Amino acid sequence: MQRTRRFWGWGFEDAAPTPAEERSLAARIAPFLPIAETTMAPPTPDEIHLTRPRLEAPASIASWCETDDLARAGHTYGKSFRDVLRALERRWERPPDVVASPPDEAGVVAVLDWASQAGAVVIPYGGGSSVVGGVEAPPDDDRPVISLDLRRLDRVLEVDVDSRAALIEGGIFGPALEAQLRPHGLTLRHFPQSFEVSSLGGWIATRSGGHFATLHTHIDDFVESIRAVTPAGISQTRRLPGSGAGPSPDRLLIGSEGILGVITAAWMRLQDRPTFRASAVAQFTSFEDGARAARALGQSGLWPTNCRLLDAGEAMVTGAGSHHLLLLGFESADHPVDDWLARAVELARDFGGVVAPREDLVRDASATWRSAFLRAPYIRDSLVRLGLISETFETAITWDRFEPFVARVRHATESALSDVGAWPGVVTCRLTHVYPDGAAPYFTVLAPGDGPRRLDQWRTVKAAVMDAIDAGGGTVTHHHAVGRDHRSGYDRERPDLFAAQLRAAKGVVDPAGLLNPGVLIDP
Amino acid sequence: MQRTRRFWGWGFEDAAPTPAEERSLAARIAPFLPIAETTMAPPTPDEIHLTRPRLEAPASIASWCETDDLARAGHTYGKSFRDVLRALERRWERPPDVVASPPDEAGVVAVLDWASQAGAVVIPYGGGSSVVGGVEAPPDDDRPVISLDLRRLDRVLEVDVDSRAALIEGGIFGPALEAQLRPHGLTLRHFPQSFEVSSLGGWIATRSGGHFATLHTHIDDFVESIRAVTPAGISQTRRLPGSGAGPSPDRLLIGSEGILGVITAAWMRLQDRPTFRASAVAQFTSFEDGARAARALGQSGLWPTNCRLLDAGEAMVTGAGSHHLLLLGFESADHPVDDWLARAVELARDFGGVVAPREDLVRDASATWRSAFLRAPYIRDSLVRLGLISETFETAITWDRFEPFVARVRHATESALSDVGAWPGVVTCRLTHVYPDGAAPYFTVLAPGDGPRRLDQWRTVKAAVMDAIDAGGGTVTHHHAVGRDHRSGYDRERPDLFAAQLRAAKGVVDPAGLLNPGVLIDP
C-alpha cells in the first residue's frame, strides 16, 4: 500500500489532522496567541505552474525520471517553516528540473554520469524532511537541477544476527526498515521525529539524532560501514566493530549532507528488541533543578534510554501537565532494569524531583508527550496555516555554561520576536539528549505572524538565535543538520582550516561540484 | 624527580628488569624456546656515533633544541621489536638532525616556521612508544629531520568539574595527567599499555585503545575538542558535548598520526574516580566458548569495564593459570555494581564458564595478569636480548567471521614462523576489547630468532600476518596505529578515494608536506 505524501507539507495525506482536529487546535491556541482571520488553504496540484524543465533524461533512465509539476513541486523544498509557508503561498522557487528515482545503485551511478555530462546539479533526496534547507536548489547557481530521490533503494539486503548488524539500502524509510528487521528480533531503534518520512541515508548524511537520550544519541555510533557513490567512483568502507587505522573514513561521510557522495547502503549496528522496560516521571519546580538531575543522570553511568526534560511551557503545550518534567526510561533485552530505574529515581529526588507514585500517571504523561512528539510536525503545518510563526531549533552546550546559555538563547529569541512585532509568543525548551559533559536544549517557538511579513520575521529571528547560540558557545545544530539555513552559524563554528579541508575532500570526489553545492561549504 | 628514559628500549631505567629477573625469565623461557647463547648487551651512550646534524636551530629557539648523539639516538625510533633490535645492534638509521622540545605552543609554531624555511621534515613525538614505526624519519626522503618532542607541554590547564572535562596539553604523559586530575576527584581513565610513556596528543593522534574493554574503547570518545598547530595556522574546534554540524572536525584529526597537525591541547571528557567495584574470573575449556560469552556480554548492555578473554597460552605465559580466562569487572562512582556483575556471571555460565568461587582467586588471577600487562614491554626487550622474535599485533573483526578469522590469522602466523625457520614458537591470543558487533583479538608471538636473520624473519612474518588479516576482512590495527609498519595493510583497507581525500586535506594544512610524511599516505 503506497501512502500519498503531502507535497506541500509534512508527512502523509492519510495522517493529516482532520478539520475537527484543526478547529480544536485553533480553539486551544486562540487564548494565548492571535491567530489569523483566514486559515490558509493547502495548495492543490492544479495550482502548481512551473517553468519548463531545462533537462531531458536520457532514454536509458527516462522510465524512472519524472518531470511533471507535482513531482517537481514536491521536491522543491524540505519541510521547514519556511518551506511550508512558501508552498502555502503557492511559490515554488527553483524547482528541480527532473526528479530521478533510480531503482538501484547502478541507477544512481547513471544519474551522476548524466549530471556530469549535462552540467547539472544533483541534490540527494531521502525523505525530504529536512528542516534546514538541505534539499533545495542552490540560490545562486544557474545549472539545471536533478533531485535524486533514493526512495526505491528501500531494502534490508543482509542480516548478520551474530553481530547484530544489517546491510541496508540508503533510501529506506524508518517504518520499512523496522518492518524488515522485526522478523530477526532486531531493531535499529533510531527514532528521530521524522522517523516515518526520513531515510537511513538521510540520517547518516545529517547526523540524525534518535530516541536514545543518552549514550548512542546520534546515528553516528550505529554506522559500521558505508557505501557511497560519487562522481569519481564508488567508495566502500570495511565492516569493522572498531578500528584505529587512520582517521575514520565513515566519520567524514557522516554529516556530509550530500556534498561528498550519495549513500546507497550501509552496514548498521542493531539492537535486540527490548523485553524489559521501566520508566518514571519526575516533576521539578524549577527547570534548573531538573537539568541538574539530568546532569547527574548523564554522569551516573546508568545510561537511561530516555532522559528528557520538558520545561513547564513545553509540558503544558503538549498537554503533559504544568510542571517541569523529567521523563525517565530504561530498557533491555537482557535483564530487568528496575534497579537501574530505582537508582535514577533516587538521583532525581536528590535534586528535588517529585516522582509520580502511580504507574498509570507515569504512562500517561509519558505517552501523551510521545504521541504529541510524533504528531508535532503535522500540527506545525496547521499552525502555519493559522498565520503563526512556528519554529523549532536545537543546540548543545557543556554543563558549565548551561544555565546562562539557555537563558541567553531564550532571551534572544523573545527579544527578536518582540523586535519584529511577533510578541507575545511562546518559547519553550526541552532537553532532548543528555551527555556526561553537557546537554542538547531544544527550543520551540510559537508567535503571531504578520501576514506577508511573516517570512522576514522568521528570518530575522532565526539570525538572532544563531547569533546567541554562537556567542554562547553552543553548536548551530545538535541534530537538525546545517543545510542552507544554518550556514552562517556553521561558518562561525567550524575551524576555517577544516572548511578548506572539506572543500579539498569534495574536490577529490566531485571535481565539478555537482553534489548539493552550497550546503556546508561554498560553492 | 626526572626519571631517565631508556634510550634504546621501553620505559625507564629505574623500572628495567634486574639481572636477577632476567635470569629467572631466561630460565622460565628456556624449556619452551631456544634462547641465544649470548644475551645482547644494551647499548651505552658512548657507543652511539651519528653523522653530523644537517640543521642548526635558529638562535631564538636553540635553547630547547638538542643535537647531541644521545638525544638524537633516543628519538630515532619508536619502541617496536624492530626498533629495539636495531638499537641493540647499535644501528641508528636516519636519526633526526635536531630534537626540538618547545616549552609552549608558540614554540611549536616556531618549529614549524623554521622547518618550512629550512625545508625540513617534522616528526611529532610524544612518548616515543610507537610500536608501528610512527615516529621515525621517512626512508626515501633526503630532507633534514626535526623530531618535535612535545614533552614540555605537560600541564592540565583548566578543569571544568561541572562538565567533568579538562583542557590538557598534548605532551603530557599518563601519570602526570592523572596526578593533576586527582585533586579534582576526576580521572581520564585511559590506560593503554604504554600509559607511563605515552602522551595525550599521541593517544589522540593514534586512536589509542584504553582499559575500558567495552563502550569507550578508544580515546576518540573522550575528545571534546582539539587544538592543533599546522604549517597553515592553528585549528581549534569548539567544546561541545555533541553536535550534528557537518562531519566532525575532531574525527579527522583523531588518528591522523601527525600528518594533519600537531595536537597541542585538547578538552577531554573525564570520569569520576570510581568507588564501587566488582570483578570475577570465568574459566572456559574452549576459547570459542569464552568468546561466545564475551559476545553475549558485549551485547548485553551491561557495559563491563573489563571484559578481557585470555586464551590458555596467554594465561599460562603471564602466569595466570592454564584455562581460557574471561576477566570481568564493573566499576562506578555512582552505584554499587554487584547486580551488574551477577548478571554478567550468569551470562558467562550460560556459555560454560566456571566462575572462581573465591574472592582472593579472582583478585589473584586478575592482578597477576594486570601487573604482567604493564610489565610486558620491558620483558619484551629482555626477550629480544635473549635472541627471540617477540612481537604483538592486534586487529578487530565482526562476530560472524570471528572464529574462522582468529583461526586463519593464528595459522598464518604459525606457518610464516615455520617458513622462516622460527618454529616451534608460541602464538597466543586475547580479546582486548569487546563490541556488540565484534571483538579485538590481540596476538602475542614468541619465537626463536636466527641471529642476524632475525629482522628479515620478523618482516616476513609481519607481512604474512597483514595478508591474513586483510584476506579475513579484519582491520590492520585496532589501536596500535598504522605508522610505517602497517602501511601496506592500511593501503588495502581504506577506500582509495578516502586516501585521496586525506592527501587533499593534508595539502590544505601542510602544502610542503613537512609533517610526518609517508605515515598513512604518500608522500
User: Which grid coordinates belong to A295?
Assistant: 546532569
- DSSP lists the bridge partners of residue A329 as A279, A306
Question: What's the confidence (pLDDT) of residue A227?
Answer: 98
pLDDT at B196 over 70: yes
Q: What is the pLDDT of residue B362?
A: 60
How far is it, in rounded angstroms, from Cα A140 to Cα A518? 9
pLDDT tens-place string over residues B494-515 = 999 999 999 999 999 999 999 9
Looking at beta carbons, which residues of chain A come within 8 Å of B431? none
Helices and strands (DSSP H and E) totals, chain B: 15, 19
The shortest C-alpha distance from A227 to chain B (Å) reads 10
| Alpha-carbon distance A475 to nearest alpha carbon in chain B (angstroms) | 6
Please state, in angstroms and as integers, the Cα–Cα distance from residue A211 to each residue in A69, A173, A217, A374, A499, following that order: 36, 16, 7, 12, 30
pLDDT confidence of B317, banded at 50, 70, 90? Answer: low
Which residues, including other chains, have CB under 8 Å from residue B327's CB and lie 6 or more apart? B279, B281, B306, B307, B308, B309, B310, B365, B366, B369
Chain A residue with the nearest C-alpha to that of B227:
A495
Percentage of residues of chain A with pLDDT beyond 70: 97
Q: What is the assigned CATH class of domain B276-481?
A: alpha beta
Contact B434, B214 (CB under 8 A): yes
For residue B361, is pLDDT > 60? Answer: no
Determine the Cα–Cα distance for residues A5 and A430; give it in Å rounded to an integer: 29
Look at residue B81 in the predicted model and tell me its pLDDT.
98
Cα A398 from chain centre: 22
Residue of B nearest to A235 (CA): B495
pLDDT at B485: 97
Sign of CA dihedral B416, B496, B431, A167: negative
Q: Comparing A61-81+94-273+486-523 with A279-485, is the CATH topology the same? A: no
- Give dist(CA A27, CA A37) in Å, integer: 13
Q: Considering just the CA atoms, what is the radius of gyration of chain A in Å?
A: 23
Q: Nearest Cβ partner of B269 from A433, A436, A505?
A: A436
CATH number of B43-149, picked from 3.90.550.10, 1.20.120.430, 3.30.43.10, 3.40.50.11860 = 3.30.43.10
Quote the pLDDT of residue A446: 96
Averaged pLDDT, B190-219: 97
Residues A362-402 have pLDDT tens digits of 666 667 767 777 788 999 999 999 999 999 999 999 999 99
Give contacts of A348 with chain B, Cβ < 8 Å. none
Domain spanning A61-81+94-273+486-523: CATH 1.10.10.10: no
Taking CB atoms and an 8 Å limit, are A236 and B495 in contact across chains?
yes
Closest CA to A229 of A281, A189, A293, A169: A169
Stated pTM of the model: 0.97
Q: How far is B96 from chain A (nearest CA, A)?
A: 24
CB nearest A498 (choices: B235, B400, B482): B235
CB A445 within 8 A of CB A389: yes
Q: Where are the domains of chain A?
A: 61-81+94-273+486-523, 279-485
- Give the residue from B126, B128, B64 showing the smallest Cα distance to B99: B64
Tell me the three cell numbers of residue A486: 544554518
Average the pLDDT over each of A354-358, B75-79, B273-277 and give the range with the smallest value: A354-358
CATH 3.40.462.40 is held by the domain A279-485: yes
Residue B322: predicted pLDDT: 79
pLDDT at B357 over 90: no
pLDDT score of B360 more than 60:
no
pLDDT at residue number A258:
98
* Low-confidence residues in chain A, pLDDT < 50: none
What nine digits make up the cell of A192?
528521530
**Assigned fold of B156-272:** 3.30.465
Per residue, the 3-state secondary structure of B304-350, as one string, reads CCEEEEECHHHHHHCCCCCCEEEEEEEEECCCCCHHHHHHHHHHHHH
Pick the residue from chain A with its C-alpha nearest to B440: A242
Locate the chain B residue with the closest alpha carbon to A215: B215
pLDDT at B493: 98
